[in-house]
Amino acid sequence: MEYVTRLLPDKPEVATTSKYQGLKYEHPVKYYDFHVYYYDRIASSKSESDSLRAKLLEDFPDDAADGSIIVKILPDDKVIGPHATQFWEADVARPEVFVRLLSWFQLHHGGLSVLIHPQTGDDVLDHTNRALWLGDRLPVFTDIFPPQVEGKQGITEYGVRRGQKIPVDKFDQHISVPHKD
C-alpha cells in the first residue's frame, strides 16, 4: 500500500505515545485499523471514498502530519488481503485519537462500509469476532491468514511500510523507525 501520511522520522514515538499518562488499550490491543471499502467500478462509490479520505485529512491535519493517523491507499485499486473489494486504510495507535476518529467515522462514513479492527497478533479474530462495522458488513476471507502458532503471533510495526512483525510481548518496547523510501 502507498502511504499518504507518515511517521515523523525524527520523532516517531509522537504517533504512538498517548498524551494522557496511563491511557492505553486493553491488552493485547496495540493499535487499530479502519478499512474504508469502495467499489472501483462504481464511480459514485470511488468518488465518495476519495471525498471521505480528503475530509479526514482536512479534519485531522495535526494527527495526519505527525503520523498519529497513518493513511494508506491501494496503488492500483487491486483487491488485496482478506478483503472482498477495494479499500483505503487509516491506522491509529494513540487511544485518544482512536476515540475521536471512531466518532468521526460514525458521523461521516455515509454509504461506505468501514471495518474497524484491533491489532492483537491474531489476524483471524481481529478481522472477525473482535471487529466493529459501520455500514454494511462485507465478507472477510480469513483463509488467507497463516495458522496461528501459540507464542509466535506478531503484530505488524505501526506506520512502517513493509514493517516487520513484532512479537506481542515485545511490541510495547519496540520503537518503529520509518524507512527512507
Tell me, what CATH number does 42's domain have? 3.30.70.1240
Q: What is the pLDDT of residue 162?
A: 79
Q: What is the pLDDT of residue 146?
A: 83
| Distances in whole angstroms, Cα of residue 99 to Cα of each of 50, 102, 103, 148 | 22, 5, 6, 29
| Distances in whole angstroms, Cα of residue 63 to Cα of each of 8, 28, 135, 136 | 11, 24, 25, 28
Q: What is the pLDDT of residue 119?
A: 96
96, part of any domain: yes
Q: What is this structure's pTM? A: 0.94
Q: What is the pLDDT of residue 181?
A: 56
Among 26, 158, 35, residue whose Cα is nearest residue 92 = 158
Q: Which residue has the cell 485518544?
A: 96
DSSP E strands in 40-160: the ranges are 69-73, 86-92, 114-119, 132-134, 154-156
Do residues 7 and 181 touch, judged by C-beta distance below 8 A?
no
18, part of any domain: no
Phi, psi angles (nearest 5°) of residue 95: -55, -40
Q: Please state the domain count of the chain.
A: 1
pLDDT in tens for each of the 181 residues of the chain? 999 999 999 999 999 999 999 999 999 999 999 999 999 999 999 999 999 999 999 999 999 999 999 999 999 989 999 999 999 999 999 999 999 999 999 999 999 999 999 999 999 999 999 999 999 999 999 999 887 766 567 888 899 887 888 888 888 888 777 766 5
Q: Which residue has the cell 471525498?
A: 51
161, part of any domain: yes
Could you tell me the residue range of the domain that residue 122 belongs to?
2-8+26-172
d(CA 142, CA 125): 9
Q: What is the pLDDT of residue 95?
A: 98
Q: What is the pLDDT of residue 102?
A: 98
154, part of any domain: yes
What secondary structure letter does DSSP report for 69? Answer: E
Reported residue count of the chain is: 181
114, part of any domain: yes
Do residues 60 and 69 touch, judged by C-beta distance below 8 A?
yes
83, part of any domain: yes
79, part of any domain: yes
Per-residue cell: 65: 502530519
Do residues 10 and 4 touch, judged by C-beta distance below 8 A?
no
d(CA 143, CA 137): 18
